[in-house]
Amino acid sequence: MEKNYNEKPKQKRALETRKKLITAAEQLFNKKGFYDTTSKDIAKEAGVSIGIFYNYFKDKSKIYYECLNLGYDDDNSKIIELLKKLFDEEDDLKTKIYSYLYDVLLKIRSKIKIVMERDRIMADYPEINELIKRCDEEIIKEIENYFSGEDSEVIAQLIVETTNRNAIVVSSMEDSKKQEKYIEYLAEMLSCFFERFKK
């Protein structure tokens, strides 16, 4: 009977420790990048021993997967919400695309180390590659709904890749005026593209 009373506090502590590890990993991956962060760094940042880290995660790729999985659910739902607003008729399309890009690019800027390592991580870790591809596909499917014709998937993929790749360029710019101009021209380019192919 006593075992049952102790079970819940143990479960709660385990969840809290896991959450601390994920939060620490996320902060370190964003600050130092995936390859320059070690499992030991994550354990230290979370205030636990390396043994405790390995009780929860086999290696840093597993905790990275977990960070991505949790983050993508939140990020994708926000991006899908922004996309839905793009096609209401209240404001002009270019203004809405600019706002959308600005939001997405700012979000990516805070994770620039990880974004810049994305292709390498995808090549090195098939499980992470599958997760990133699945999340990109969700966004592509959502964008695809706004275009007609057999090429709608190609158009949607082009938009996602254009946004992802340009995020790296924009994030590396020191000059904020230049950054804003870049986003403005990118918005103009994408709005022409949207106008041409949308339903």
- Closest by CA to 118, choosing from 80, 84, 152, 72, is 72
CATH match of 60-197 with 1.10.357: yes
What pLDDT does 42 receive? Answer: 98
Most confident of 83-87, 149-153, 185-189: 185-189
Ranges of CATH 1.10.357 domains, the chain: 60-197
What pLDDT does 124 receive? Answer: 96
Query: What pLDDT band is residue 27 in, cutting at 50, 70 and 90?
Result: very high
| Range with the poorest average pLDDT among 80-89, 117-126, 132-141 | 80-89
Query: What pLDDT band is residue 1 in, cutting at 50, 70 and 90?
Result: very low
- pTM beyond 0.85, yes or no: no
Q: Which residues contact 151 (CB under 8 A, 6 or more apart)?
A: 197
Rounded-to-integer distance, Cα 26 and Cα 164, Å: 20
- Name the CATH code of domain 1-57 (choices 3.40.630.30, 1.10.10.60, 3.90.550.10, 3.90.420.10): 1.10.10.60
What integer is the mean pLDDT of 131-142? 86
What integer is the mean pLDDT of 157-179? 83
CA distance to 13, 23, 52, 117, 137, per residue, from 64 (Å): 21, 11, 17, 12, 20
Ranges of CATH 1.10.10.60 domains, the chain: 1-57
| Range with the poorest average pLDDT among 24-33, 66-75, 114-123, 171-180 | 66-75
